[in-house]
Structure 1
Amino acid sequence: MLDFAIFAVTFVIILVGAVLYLYPSSRRASGIPGLNPTDEKDGNLQDIVNRGSLHEFLVSLHQEFGSVASFWFGGRPVVSLGAVKQLQQHINPNHTDSFETMLKSLLGYQSGTGGAGESVIRKKLYETAISNTLENNFPLVLKLVEELVGKWRSFPEAQHTPLCAHLLGLAMKTVTQLALGERFGDDAQVISFQSEGTDLLFCWRQQIWSEIGKGYLDGSLEKSSSRKGHYEKALSEMESVLLSVAKERKSQRKQSVFVDALLQSSLTERQIMEDCMVFTLAGCVITANLCIWALHFLSTSEEVQDKLYQELQDVLGSDPVSVDKIPQLRYCQQVLNETVRTAKLTPIAARLQEVEGKVDQHVIPKQTLVIYALGVVLQDADTWDVPYRFDPDRFEEESARKSFCLLGFSGNQTCPELRFAYTVATVLLSSVVRQLKLHRLKGQAAEVRSELVSTPKDETWITVSRRSSS
């Protein structure tokens, strides 16, 4: 009888295990409401592909299951947070940059074995290096912006100006020169940085960033050996260039740009290369797209342009913007905040749950991947009045500023790449708006491609006219 009981219990355990294995729809991620895996190997990856992007998938997920929802990324359970209150509960105890953490993980950068203490020190060094580099090289930023605006002033009023091409170029020049030095002080050198016999601009933007932003997140990169090979080759070549730059700067003992600050630390060559990669990659993409969206939205509202123009005149007069004057440009800050919100500039961030945590009544087990559905929250009607309208005045309200800060887009939680982008964008707006008026092309609607950083799906065009001196 005992043998039969043991057999019966064993049989039931095996049967339950088989059901869970063969029929994944019977499983739930951590007991949190959400989707069951539609495929044993890929989880809900096909659902993400069908929606067009991870952001669009998360929009539908939270609409169906609420602010705390789960799904499966391959064979791994994932928890997504899609409301300010729930994000606040998770972000505040962790105090880490979820965007940078996610990007390093996707790049495969996990160097350093010193634990949490070393990570905090390294993060602080990274942030300080960016801040000091920007302050020390602020005149260069002014020069690069004025070159672009001077070019636009020379255009006939009817000429269409391509924002994506021009502002990506501005971001590339600014980030590469401030990160890596005067070796990239002219267009030929910037192009050579992106090409060693091929067009590395394509390799960088398309093969590295696009594959990180889409290929990894929908699983398609792993399913294409040729795509993965091109991506790994481009990444390897760029890493080699960054390592060579670091060695060159070290021998020259210069101390003026980002890589120099890292060279003064105790970081290894590999760690220096990784931080240079993150800054040059994320810094360029975030800066370019913040500037693109800001000028696009300004072109749709003459009223906002005029209000910003008046602030710039009151604060700066005829002088160029300076580091100490930037905090006084409060309406400019509101314009950039509303640009980030309306465009959902960084719609997704993520971090690994290092220890067991809790959000509301839901327990999040250790080693669970937690997605911050920032794009969902940034256009949540419960948080933002008329969320799809571009309205910088909303940030006059303390509640809006507080929600924005809780999401990590302002204050101490802001990622250093976004702080860098805000400074460059402020310089750009201060120059453009005082000299030019921006006009939207009739019939053109800028559609968003939401990956790790939202980008216009197509080239975005405007026309410009000279602003009268009166």
Structure 2
Amino acid sequence: MLDFAIFAVTFVIILVGAVLYLYPSSRRASGIPGFNPTDEKDGNLQDIVNRGSLHEFLVSLHQEFGSVASFWFGGRPVVSLGSVHQLQQHINPNHSTDSFETMLKSLLGYQSGIGGGANESVIRKKVYENAINTMLKNNFSLVLKLVDELVGKWRSFPEDQHTPLCAHLLGLALKAVTQLALGERFRDDTEVISFRKNHDAIWSEIGKGYLDGSLEKSSSRKERYEKALSEMESMLVSVEKERKAQRRQTAFVDSLLQSSLTERQIMEDCMVFTLAGSVITANLCIWALHFLSTSEEVQDKLYQELEDVLGSDPISLDKIAQLTYCQQVLNETVRTAKLTPVAARLQEVEGKVDQHVIPKETLVIYALGVVLQDSETWRTPYRFDPDRFKEESARKSFCLLGFSGNQTCPELRFAYTVATVLLSTLVRQLKLHQLKGQVMEVRSELVSTPKDETWITVSRRS
């Protein structure tokens, strides 16, 4: 499993650091209740570290101060919103570029497009999303093939054999993302292994310098990180040149090559999609199968829908929309696992939430992990219950939070497609069983990840 060693704090703290660097003139968000800084230099950073993650810190913040609260990063206040009602007030007038993509590009040192204005950002985002859609349409049969290979492997296991979800589903995600995004070159396992090595090295270090400067203090670590990033970039540039010469039109990179993006921008977008797409796809699949293994009833309901809609046929791209219950299972997986527990936006103009004024250039955190388990929004919030998404109110809240509809992260939409293919193939052939005595602990970082390997057993359907 990838070692997401991003200190003890999630990506939004990293993004805070970037925002404070890029927007040094931000003003104080006065009048909003919250924690006073415990350190003049670091603000509440040590409190966040002591809690173990930003998500856990935000849980305590909102429990004490309500749904609109503040804390301090360095000498600057940050505002956090912890309820659907307050998020709705803030999101509607503040649509902007995807915060995950902005954060990741900032950490990688990619600044192209930032100064090009809103129009360039919108155009580039559209090119990016269209490239993902075209890639899936052209390569759906490849996703089916990769899933069939994995399910066939599981079918061959003895029924008492422990199956490691993290290892196998990360492998599936890496193969799917690299082959669909970068082409046939990554049908070679050695290329995938090389990609993963550099992928792991980048994710294990990214963002640390914003927190404690430790990367700068360790020449060996900095050298490893810079070497991995350089090798990954060189590989992407090499793929770009190969695909351009071949004039193929099936992979993600091919669509970017047909756009007006520069070579540098194409490399950057390939980096963002392959890094983020692998992580999000792997963890959505891991959590979905884990939760299914805990409920035979949910598995049986999903099996019946798959039989009714697909019969004995393999799933097709146009049939995915008809799998309503499967969508509910994935939605509930994202909600229960708090798949992406935090998001953030920069307050571009002065705004207001309830009676609170939020000054221009304040960083506003969306405490999604808090909201996703808020008892006022979700009945029995800690229970895995896909049926809750039969209710229109649940679907609306989920859409508002950016997990469905037009505002969904493109990498998450890709992950939903791969996960749907996996569930539609696996559940019709096998039953999943939870391993007794296994305790699931979570790392709430960029993407919520099991702290340790997660095991299940499988048996064939009669």
Instruction: Verify the 8 A CA contact 1:179 1:276 in the aligned structure 2.
Output: yes
Instruction: Verify the 8 A CA contact 1:48 1:218 in the aligned structure 2.
Output: no
Aligned to 2:264: 270
Instruction: Verify the 8 A CA contact 1:157 1:465 in the aligned structure 2.
Output: yes
Q: Is 1:247 the counterpart of 2:248 in the alignment?
A: no
- Counterpart AA for 2:218: S
Aligned to 1:107: 108
Equivalent position SS for 1:193: helix
The 2-side partners of 1:106 and 1:391 are apart by 36
Equivalent position SS for 1:295: helix
CA shift, 1:335, in A, is 0.2
2:388 pairs, out of 391, 394, 397, with 394
Aligned to 1:165: 167
Aligned to 1:256: 250
Aligned to 1:375: 369
Aligned to 1:132: 134
- Counterpart AA for 1:157: E
Show the 5 A alignment for 1:56-455.
56-96=56-96, 97-112=98-113, 113-194=115-196, 200=197, 203-205=198-200, 207-212=201-206, 215=208, 219=212, 221=214, 224-226=217-219, 227-455=221-449
**Greater Cα shift, 357-366 or 162-171:** 357-366
- Counterpart AA for 1:178: L
**Greater Cα shift, 158-167 or 99-108:** 99-108
Instruction: Verify the 8 A CA contact 1:102 1:350 in the aligned structure 2.
Output: no
Go from structure 1 to structure 2 and tell me whether the alpha carbon gap of 1:87 and 1:53 turns closer, same or farther (over 3 Å shift). same
- Counterpart AA for 1:86: Q
CA shift, 1:228, in A, is 4.4
1:426-470 CA-to-partner distances (Å, cap 9, x unmatched) read 0000010000000000001221110010000000000000011xx
Instruction: Verify the 8 A CA contact 1:78 1:370 in the aligned structure 2.
Output: yes
Aligned to 1:20: none
CA shift, 1:217, in A, is 7.2
The 2-side partners of 1:441 and 1:119 are apart by 47
- Counterpart AA for 1:84: V
The 1-side partners of 2:67 and 2:215 are apart by 30
1:342-376 CA-to-partner distances (Å, cap 9, x unmatched) read 00000011122222222222222222111111111
Equivalent position SS for 2:357: strand
Equivalent position SS for 1:114: helix
The 1-side partners of 2:305 and 2:240 are apart by 42
CA shift, 1:189, in A, is 2.1
**Greater Cα shift, 35-44 or 413-422:** 35-44
The 2-side partners of 1:416 and 1:135 are apart by 15
- Counterpart AA for 2:302: L
Equivalent position SS for 2:457: strand
Equivalent position SS for 1:31: coil
CA shift, 1:232, in A, is 3.4
1:377-398 CA-to-partner distances (Å, cap 9, x unmatched) read 1011111111110000100111
CA shift, 1:415, in A, is 0.7
- Counterpart AA for 2:127: L
The 1-side partners of 2:33 and 2:240 are apart by 48
Quote the sequence identity (%): 85
1:209-258 CA-to-partner distances (Å, cap 9, x unmatched) read 2434x736754656753444433332232122212211221122221110
The 1-side partners of 2:403 and 2:437 are apart by 32
TM-score under structure 2 length normalisation: 0.90
CA shift, 1:69, in A, is 1.3
**Aligned pair count?**
433
Equivalent position SS for 1:50: helix
Instruction: Verify the 8 A CA contact 1:54 1:218 in the aligned structure 2.
Output: no
Instruction: Verify the 8 A CA contact 2:29 2:358 in the aligned structure 1.
Output: no
Instruction: Verify the 8 A CA contact 1:211 1:221 in the aligned structure 2.
Output: no
The 2-side partners of 1:225 and 1:367 are apart by 33
Aligned to 1:5: none
Go from structure 1 to structure 2 and tell me whether the alpha carbon gap of 1:232 and 1:333 turns closer, same or farther (over 3 Å shift). same
1:150-195 CA-to-partner distances (Å, cap 9, x unmatched) read 000000001000000000000000000111110001322211334x
- Counterpart AA for 2:103: M
Instruction: Verify the 8 A CA contact 2:209 2:216 in the aligned structure 1.
Output: no
1:41-95 CA-to-partner distances (Å, cap 9, x unmatched) read 2221111111111111111111111111111223332111111111112222222
The 1-side partners of 2:279 and 2:458 are apart by 24
- Counterpart AA for 2:350: E
Show the 5 A alignment for 1:11-26.
none
**Greater Cα shift, 420-429 or 355-364:** 355-364
The 2-side partners of 1:318 and 1:103 are apart by 42
Equivalent position SS for 2:317: coil
The 2-side partners of 1:404 and 1:238 are apart by 35
Equivalent position SS for 1:93: coil
The 1-side partners of 2:218 and 2:71 are apart by 26
Go from structure 1 to structure 2 and tell me whether the alpha carbon gap of 1:129 and 1:445 turns closer, same or farther (over 3 Å shift). same
TM-score under structure 1 length normalisation: 0.89
Equivalent position SS for 1:319: coil
Instruction: Verify the 8 A CA contact 1:101 1:351 in the aligned structure 2.
Output: no
Equivalent position SS for 1:137: helix
In structure 2, list runs of 5 or more residues that go unmatched.
1-26
The 2-side partners of 1:217 and 1:319 are apart by 51
Instruction: Verify the 8 A CA contact 2:67 2:86 in the aligned structure 1.
Output: yes
